[in-house]
Amino acid sequence: MKKLFTILLLISQIQAYSQCLTDHYYKEAIKNNPQLPEIEKAFYASVQQVDNNKRATKYIIPVVFHVIHTNGMENISKAQIENQIKILNEDFSLTNPNKSAIRTAFKTIAADCEIEFRLAKIDPQGNCTDGINRVYSPLHVGARDNVKGIAGARWPNSKYLNIWTVSSIEEQGATGGTTLGFAYLPYMVGSPSSVDGIVMRADRVGVIGTGDFSGAGRTLTHEVGHYLGLLHTFDDECAGTGSNQGDYCGDTPPVAGVFTNQGCPFNGNSCSTDVPNLIDQWENYMDYSKGSCQAMFSLNQKSIMHNVLTNGGGNTSFRKTLVSAANLLATGVNDGNTTPQAFFYSSARTVCVGQAVSFYDISCKANVDSRQWMFTGANITNTNKDTPVIVYSTPGKYKVTLMVTNGFGSNTLNVDDYITVVPAVAFEKTSVSQDFENPSWEISTGWSVVDQGLKFKRETTTSYGGAACLVAPINTSVPAGQRFQLITPPIDMRSLAGKSPKISMMVGYVRQNNLSSEELRIYYSRGCENNWTQFLYRSAGFISYSNTAFAIDFKPASPSEWKMISFGLSSFETDSNVAFMVEVVSGEGNHVYIDNINIGQFNTGIYDTEKNIALDVFPNPSTGELNIDYINASGETEVWLENIEGKRIATILEKNLQTGEISIKWNSQNMIPTGVYILKIKSNEQVINKKVIFAN
């Protein structure tokens, strides 16, 4: 008889030798419960067959996506998740666009399963939600059931279908292939359960964003089939016949092997034991055929799923609770007869002046008959639109209010400082540099470290050319996938047009061994939305100063143990507001040291320009007079003042060839209006910026 799946895994349909891990989980399941084979037989024996006659109502299943991430590409968008829900609902209602490709032999048994999936609108605490729970954790790398134990990352399985999305799934004992998702069969868990639900690779969710178009979004369709009691069509291979074959479905012809139908052979017939002898049904979502070929569930499969949702049996009765009328109200997927609870979100929380931001009403618990929005400081201060689009013209932080009403009453949500509006043109002008020499290097500079428990730290026991640097403190106890992130201030790049701008930095790193996997990534965010897109990736071997040296607890001891990483920024030359994020990803290996970051026309060197000329400007703020002291080792220097739009408003010193200590006392003669300005010093063809405040 077929082997029972404790966990059922959908494996890459491209690699014929993918590891399924079935034996491992089957043996573990039998160890824990020797009665499992009898429980399985009784479960499928209790199934009552249904047909394609319509029920009075569909079964509705509340869904929550737990997006496990560390701010990388695995932090998939709401639109991508909604696209996956759309695909699920098409596949389970036989409204999928490719259903016309179902071959004649199976058209009459292709089933409208009458099951619908809806993102939850009320969370377990009774608060409104969009059904997406984002949880920061490095456990998204090499995930298994461990992600279900993350604090806040599991909702009651008797009320929600829990789906965890991760960047990769551990291939324990595998010799090849890629696991895309796994789910527990209903008779393997009870309620409450700490493991019930589905784990999915984030890049297999839907077919937009990072979703894989070639898979047609069918990975989750397949896994939900398992969640509702379906087995693979190739179980028992050619040994079983009729309702006694491996998947207990007489209308799914037996299949000889796991990847027999990966190429979707039109007249493929791998087993002749079935009566009548039918071609293989690779259209079925429970085969390992290509997602683009899959197009149907069968009537017998529909019967199993309805049995799970209606009768359950044994310890599966919680699935009946899942679709109950009371639970649909409790999770908000159906509206109740009560006052709605106001709730909203926006397309962005930080925007530029003049940038449009959309607001979405996701109030819950009851139908909303009317709504009233109030926006402080916006172009529209009051509106009753469902999804208003708002523009702010002045920098600041602003309150947003939403009042929703129906026949039972009204409810109002006020959020102070909900929207942060910043100037459309970045204050910082190139070139921008950071050497971490100042202990207060983050204060009022626009540079910032992202704090997610573990973070970059300032290090004073080593550096490339000074007294300090930044370090990602990675070791074997820091989980793989943990991210260390440094964000630059927003920068106006336009003055570098045509000058081959670049971002460069010194990296101190060496691998523990040839399997070490630390990574360096760089992202950009245009405008003010904090929407990061990766544009540079460097592996451990690339960022290491040596391809042959290995060490444990490495710390660079000399400039030769640092490596310069540089990448061109010509595609950003016309950007008036762009920020960059430097990210180091843990591979459970060594520390990664970062120093002398420079964004400008030239690569970083042993010393940045400001340090090389020992710049000091005082008083700052100034009432009109500036004292500028610097040391020029060699070359020509020039000093001038610009406003924040980049226009030169005063030349302080031009073409000075003097070397050594130079002191300048300059008086604006009260010709400079109160405000923030940029003092610029050019030395050896590099330009540095110094913020100067005039308060006349």
Confidence of residue 305 (pLDDT cuts 50, 70, 90): very high
Report how far residue 12's alpha carbon sits from residue 585's, in angstroms, rounded to the nearest whole number: 26
Domain 344-422 in CATH 2.60.40.10: yes
Q: What's the pLDDT band for 582 if we cut at 50, 70, 90?
A: very high
Q: Are 457 and 486 in contact (CB under 8 A)?
A: no
7-46+57-237+297-328 topology per CATH: Collagenase (Catalytic Domain) (3.40.390)
DSSP category for residue 106: G
Highest mean pLDDT among 136-150, 288-302, 611-625: 288-302
Phi, psi of 123 (to 5 degrees): -85, 175
- The pLDDT of 603-610, averaged and rounded, is 50
Domain boundaries, the chain: 7-46+57-237+297-328, 344-422, 428-606, 610-694
User: Of 673 and 174, which is predicted with more confidence?
Assistant: 673
- Each residue's pLDDT tens digit, 306-322: 999 998 655 667 789 99
| 382-383 sheet: strands from edge to edge | 350-352, 409-422, 396-406, 370-375, 382-383
Rounded Cα–Cα distance for residues 8 and 198 (Å):
10
Query: How far apart, in whole angstroms, are the C-alpha atoms of residue 372 and residue 376?
Result: 13
Q: What is d(CA 229, CA 184) in angstroms, rounded to the nearest whole number?
A: 9
- DSSP class of 202: G
Amino acid sitting at position 5 = F
Asked, as a colleague might, if the bond just before 192 is cis with ω within 30 of 0, I would say yes
pLDDT(327) > 80: yes
Task: For residues 390-403, give the mean pLDDT.
Answer: 96
Residue 603 clears pLDDT 90, i.e. is over it: no
pLDDT band at 456 (very low <50, low <70, confident <90, very high): very high
Give the distance, in angstroms, between the CA of residue 341 and the centroid of all CA atoms in the same chain.
28
The mean pLDDT of 178-188, rounded to a whole number, is 84
Are the folds of 344-422 and 428-606 the same? no
Kindly report the CA angle at 169 between 82 and 520, in degrees rounded to 5? 90
Which region among 168-177, 524-533, 601-610, 611-620 has the lowest average model confidence (pLDDT)?
Answer: 601-610
What mean pLDDT comes out for the span 171-177?
52
The DSSP 8-state label assigned to residue 461 in this structure reads S
Q: Which fold has domain 610-694?
A: Immunoglobulin-like (2.60.40)
Q: What is the mean pLDDT of the chain?
A: 87
Q: Which range is least confidently modeled, 47-61, 90-104, 193-207, 625-639?
A: 625-639
Band of the pLDDT at 502, cuts 50, 70, 90?
A: very high
Token pair listed for 323 = 């679709």
Residue 683 CA to residue 676 CA, distance in Å, equals 23
Asked if the model's pLDDT at residue 96 lies above 70, the reply is yes
3-class DSSP state of 81 = helix
Q: Is residue 25 pLDDT above 80, yes or no?
A: no
What angle, rounded to 10 degrees, do the helices at 22-32 and 36-45 form? 100
Q: What CATH architecture applies to the domain 428-606?
A: Sandwich (2.60)
Count of CA atoms in the C-beta half-sphere (13 A) of 345: 11
R_g of the chain, CA atoms, integer Å? 31
223 classed as catalytic:
yes
Three-class secondary structure of residue 304 per DSSP = helix
**Distances 279 to 57, 290, 331 between C-alpha atoms, Å:** 34, 17, 43
pLDDT reading at 121 higher than 80: yes
**Residue 8 pLDDT level (bands cut at 50, 70, 90):** very low
In this structure, are residues 344 and 400 in contact, taking their beta carbons and an 8 Å threshold?
A: yes
Residue 643 confidence (pLDDT): 79
- Please give the Cα distance from 352 to 395 (Å, whole number): 8
Asked if residue 253 has a cis previous peptide bond (ω within 30° of 0), the answer is no
Backbone angles phi, psi at 194, to 5 degrees: -90, -5
Q: Cα(383)–Cα(364) distance, rounded to whole angstroms?
A: 20
Check whether 325 has a pLDDT greater than 90. yes
Least confident window among 1-5, 68-72, 339-343, 483-487? 1-5
Indicate which residue of 223, 237, 437, 588 is catalytic.
223
